[in-house]
């Protein structure tokens, strides 16, 4: 295969000869610096040391490099430049309208894309009278382009023109087409509007009409109070006007012009903004930004205070002193105080158990009442099946006739009372306080409080 004669649609094969020690474990291919991958649907078959392009296209032209890799590193081949010949195609495939006046020269340019660049062009005029090929003296040939100079002399000279180019790959299949019409003045611009109005400037845009087949220039005039304050021309219907003045009522006039004349006009009216309004708007935007920052700061402070309050509440709840939660222990302490009182040395001479009850009697240390437990605490109740209790003792002694007793019997009586009190277990305390008394054998009608 001749590498200088590869046309579009041909199959192209590459081989990569690798010499390496140790042997290469990988070979990849690059096209114009991009790694190629195997894609059979696209016609790219990349093997370890082989590359095949099936039906090569003009886009696949360029430089190819193979890269081999072993444990010592990578090795690159010298780039191979692939040139693919293809027939000329039009750079502007649409039908172009060209205006020409009778006995006036009209220039038509035909540009094509081809490799190699074409050296031959052919122009054909097709009108109502005939189809004829134009003389080579009426056009020039340059790199990839040809320029035709056509002068219509009669109405029959107008029609359609076609241009074909030829290079080493062959003649152009689809010609470039042009419509030759009598040159007329252009149509006026349409759909004109003003954008980005400020206090002294405006951006204007229109849609271009038919240019009459000739080069057309677009104009805009700005009028204020009957005075022309701006006149701008461009090759496209887009303008930028400045220096219009603040709060100015403007009349904008648009039109197009070519060698055949000037189009009709299109008019719109606009009003520039006032500088005070722009200043107020900018200030409002600045205040809005400041307000947003202030609201954000306030929200952050409130959130921080809420978190701190929650943490303080949790800490206070965690370190709060425990409530009275030991009713049974309170009852045991109460029983212990009763036992201490019952085991006091009654037989001591310095502490006689005979206490006269008079009007000025005050309870002494031996008869101090234990503190009442809270109403929700567990209180003393007699055990089930108990034969004696504080109530039964009181009832029995109240109904028993008085008989003299000895001190020993008195001590035995007090010990029995203490035993009865020790038999009391945890239960529900009665809300009614009761007083248990004993009779003293030495005094008549005298009682000793044993609360």
Segment 335-345 mean pLDDT: 47
Residue 420, pLDDT > 60, answer no
Q: What percent of the chain has pLDDT over 70?
A: 66
Segment 234-262 mean pLDDT: 92
Which three-class secondary structure state does DSSP give residue 390? helix
What confidence tier does 331 reach under pLDDT thresholds 50, 70, 90?
Answer: very low
- The whole-number pLDDT of residue 388 equals 43
Residue 8, pLDDT > 70, answer yes
What confidence tier does 246 reach under pLDDT thresholds 50, 70, 90?
Answer: confident
- The whole-number pLDDT of residue 444 equals 52
Of residues 383 and 219, more confidently modeled: 219
Q: pLDDT tens digits for 57-77?
A: 999 999 999 999 999 999 999
Rounded Cα distance, 86 and 170, in Å: 8
| Distance (Å) of CA 373 to CA 257, 326, 393 | 113, 10, 24
Classify burial at 376, counting beta carbons within 10 Å of its beta carbon; exposed 0-12, middle 13-18, buried 19 or more: exposed
Q: What percent of the chain has pLDDT over 90?
A: 41
Q: How many CA atoms lie within 13 A of 363 on its CB side?
A: 9
Rounded Cα distance, 209 and 206, in Å: 9
Q: Could you tell me where the beta strands, DSSP code E, fall in 304-417? A: 379-381
Residue 122's closest CA among 84, 152, 131? 131
At residue 310's C-alpha, the angle toward residues 308 and 316, to 5°, is 100
Q: How many CB atoms lie within 10 A of CB 42?
A: 13
Average pLDDT over the chain reads 76
Q: pLDDT tens digits for 424-449?
A: 444 444 445 555 555 555 555 555 55
What confidence tier does 96 reach under pLDDT thresholds 50, 70, 90?
Answer: confident
Q: pLDDT tens digits for 125-145?
A: 998 888 899 998 999 999 999
- The whole-number pLDDT of residue 433 equals 54
- The whole-number pLDDT of residue 370 equals 52
- The whole-number pLDDT of residue 237 equals 95
- The whole-number pLDDT of residue 101 equals 84
Q: pLDDT tens digits for 342-393?
A: 444 444 444 444 445 444 444 444 444 555 555 444 444 444 444 444 344 3
Of residues 156 and 380, more confidently modeled: 156
Residue 331: what are its φ and ψ, rounded to 5°?
Answer: -65, -40
Residue 398, pLDDT > 50, answer no
- The whole-number pLDDT of residue 381 equals 43
Residue 110, pLDDT > 60, answer yes
- The whole-number pLDDT of residue 213 equals 80
Q: pLDDT tens digits for 279-290?
A: 455 444 444 555
Segment 112-122 mean pLDDT: 93
Of residues 393 and 214, more confidently modeled: 214
Least confident among 128-137, 322-331, 392-401 = 392-401
Segment 216-220 mean pLDDT: 95
- The whole-number pLDDT of residue 397 equals 43
Residue 243, pLDDT > 50, answer yes
Residue 114, pLDDT > 70, answer yes
Strands 139-142 and 145-150: antiparallel
- The whole-number pLDDT of residue 371 equals 53
Segment 290-305 mean pLDDT: 80
- The whole-number pLDDT of residue 383 equals 43
- The whole-number pLDDT of residue 203 equals 93
- The whole-number pLDDT of residue 303 equals 86
What confidence tier does 157 reach under pLDDT thresholds 50, 70, 90?
Answer: confident
Under a CB-based contact definition with an 8 Å cutoff, are residues 22 and 70 in contact? yes
Segment 100-111 mean pLDDT: 89
- The whole-number pLDDT of residue 400 equals 44
Residue 332, pLDDT > 60, answer no
Q: What's the sign of the alpha-carbon dihedral 28, 29, 35, 40?
A: negative
Residue 262, pLDDT > 50, answer yes
Segment 95-107 mean pLDDT: 87
């Amino acid at each position: 295969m001749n590498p200088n004669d590869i046309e579009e649609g041909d199959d192209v094969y590459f081989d990569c000869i690798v010499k390496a020690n140790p042997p290469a474990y990988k070979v990849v291919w690059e096209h114009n610096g991009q790694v190629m991958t195997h894609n059979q649907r696209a016609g790219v078959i990349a093997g370890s040391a082989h590359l095949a392009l099936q039906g090569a296209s003009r886009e696949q032209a360029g430089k190819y490099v193979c890269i081999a890799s072993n444990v010592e590193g990578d090795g690159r081949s010298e780039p191979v430049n692939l040139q693919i010949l293809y027939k000329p195609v039009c750079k502007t495939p649409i039908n172009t309208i060209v205006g020409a006046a009778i006995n006036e020269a009209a220039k038509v340019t035909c540009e094509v894309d081809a490799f190699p660049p074409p050296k031959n062009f052919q122009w054909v005029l097709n009108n109502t009278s005939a189809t004829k090929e134009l003389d080579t003296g009426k056009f020039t040939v340059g790199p990839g382009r040809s320029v035709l100079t056509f002068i219509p002399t009669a109405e029959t000279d107008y029609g359609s023109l076609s241009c074909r180019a030829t290079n080493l790959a062959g003649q152009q299949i689809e010609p470039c087409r042009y419509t030759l019409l009598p040159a007329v003045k252009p149509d006026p611009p349409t759909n004109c509007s003003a954008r980005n109005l400020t206090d002294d400037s405006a951006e204007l845009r229109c849609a271009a009409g038919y240019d009459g087949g000739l080069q057309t220039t677009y104009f805009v005039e700005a009028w204020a109070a009957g005075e022309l304050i701006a006149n701008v021309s461009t090759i496209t219907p887009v303008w930028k006007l400045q220096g219009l003045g603040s709060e100015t009522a403007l009349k904008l006039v648009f039109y197009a012009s070519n060698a055949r004349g000037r189009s009709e006009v299109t008019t719109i009216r606009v009003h520039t903004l006032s500088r005070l309004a722009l200043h107020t708007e900018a200030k409002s935007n600045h205040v809005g930004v400041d307000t947003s920052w202030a609201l954000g700061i306030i929200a952050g402070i409130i959130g921080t205070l809420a978190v701190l309050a929650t943490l303080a509440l949790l800490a206070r709840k965690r370190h709060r002193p425990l409530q009275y939660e030991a009713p049974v222990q309170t009852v045991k302490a109460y029983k212990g105080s009763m036992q201490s009182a019952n085991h006091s040395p009654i037989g001591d001479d310095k502490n006689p158990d005979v206490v006269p009850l008079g009007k000025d009697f005050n309870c002494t240390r031996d008869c101090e009442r234990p503190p009442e437990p809270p109403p929700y605490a567990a209180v003393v109740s007699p055990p089930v099946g108990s034969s004696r209790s504080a109530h039964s003792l009181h009832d029995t002694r109240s109904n028993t006739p008085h008989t003299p007793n000895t001190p020993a019997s008195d001590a035995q009586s007090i010990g029995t009372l203490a035993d009865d009190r020790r038999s009391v277990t945890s239960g529900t305390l009665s809300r009614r306080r009761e007083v248990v008394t004993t009779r003293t054998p030495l005094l008549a009608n005298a009682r000793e409080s044993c609360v």
